[in-house]
Amino acid sequence: MLTISNYHYIRENFNANYPSIFGVTPDLFKNQLILLKGKGDFISSIDLILNGDEILKSKDNYYLITFDDGLKEQYNCAVPVLEELNIPVILFANSRNYQDKKVSTVHKIHLLRSMLSPKEFLSKISHQNDLNTISDAIVEKAQSIYIYDDKETAVLKFLLNFKMDFTIQEKIIKVIFDNYFNENEVLNELYMNEKEIVHLSKKGFLGSHTHNHFPIGLMNEDEITFELENSKLYFEKLTNTKIETVAYPYGSPEASTSEVARIAIKAGYKYGFTTTRGINTQDSNCLLLNRFDCNDMPGGKNYKVV
């Protein structure tokens, strides 16, 4: 059986006006890896591709470490710890950040949310988006997805990620973002550069996180195909390696549907990763593997001993 622990941000401190970027410190990350090392064996993407069936069928505990979003801090803070402990990893990156030289809208939102209160942000998105006018069903759904956030933040994230049309969202967020940040500067500071991407790929550590970082389960077949194929081809050409793993952005059931899994196989992926919590066994769909947030794993802040 295979347990996958997923990470995003990793940095020494997460201070901000409105803390909205969360993650682990390098020390916490290292401690968690040491804890897991005592409970099972770590596998790489190559192990998964070559021996996936055996790993999933096995009664032994296997662990896989993954990072989403292709962030520079992952290269600077996580990869050295992993190398020190001789643990493999898959880092999933978006091709948009390299091919289009654009910051993903999801990260523009993270940065803006660290400067603006949820109330200010909601009012900038639309004059109609007052929490009082939002239905109970939306509030309930938002809180079921964003279980670690307060009500206002959960609703803001739900509206942005699942309710707004992508093209409109891109435009609205771009205008607000450009008032506070320089896109090129953020691009260079936030994401790994091409050399770092190539370095990781040579170790078998690179996977696709699609092109644009959209919840692709909500898109049409042509758009899903583009998101999956373009990122695969772009990174394969850049790195001269095969990219056979994909982590679906957001990874919720709405974002990673059976339709997404079907198109991912067609695009040539062997394994796909969601963010549905759970251990993977021989009954798992290889294109819809479960992953735990690192906070829910042993050594994580929400982990409860049962």
Interface contacts to Zn ion, rule CB under 5 A: 68-69, 249
| Nearest distance, CB of residue 156 and Zn ion, angstroms | 17
| Nearest distance, CB of residue 21 and Zn ion, angstroms | 13
- Nearest residue to Zn ion, scored by beta-carbon proximity: 68
Q: What's the CA dihedral at 259, 102, 198, 280 to 10 degrees?
A: -30
Nearest alpha-carbon partner for 236 in 36, 102, 37, 99: 99
Closer of 62 and 97 to Zn ion (Cβ)? 97
* Contact present, 247 and 92 (Cβ < 8 Å): yes
| Nearest distance, CB of residue 130 and Zn ion, angstroms | 29
Closer of 5 and 62 to Zn ion (Cβ)? 5
Element (H, E) at 35: helix 26-37
Nearest alpha-carbon partner for 62 in 287, 241, 253, 289: 289
Closer of 91 and 261 to Zn ion (Cβ)? 91
| Nearest distance, CB of residue 209 and Zn ion, angstroms | 6
Give the Cα separation of 287 and 266 in Å (integer).
11
Closer of 3 and 210 to Zn ion (Cβ)? 210
User: Which residues are within 8 A (CB) of 158 and not within 5 positions of it... i.e. 6 or more apart?
Assistant: 138, 141, 142, 145, 146
Give the Cα separation of 87 and 43 in Å (integer).
8
| Nearest distance, CB of residue 103 and Zn ion, angstroms | 13
| Nearest distance, CB of residue 283 and Zn ion, angstroms | 26
Closer of 56 and 208 to Zn ion (Cβ)? 208
- Residue 300 structure tokens: 């994580």
What's the start-to-end Cα distance of the chain, in Å?
19
Closer of 118 and 249 to Zn ion (Cβ)? 249
Nearest alpha-carbon partner for 125 in 140, 142, 141, 108: 108
| Nearest distance, CB of residue 158 and Zn ion, angstroms | 16
The CA-atom distances, in angstroms, between 296 and each of 76, 91, 173, 189, 276 are 24, 19, 31, 29, 12
Closer of 68 and 196 to Zn ion (Cβ)? 68
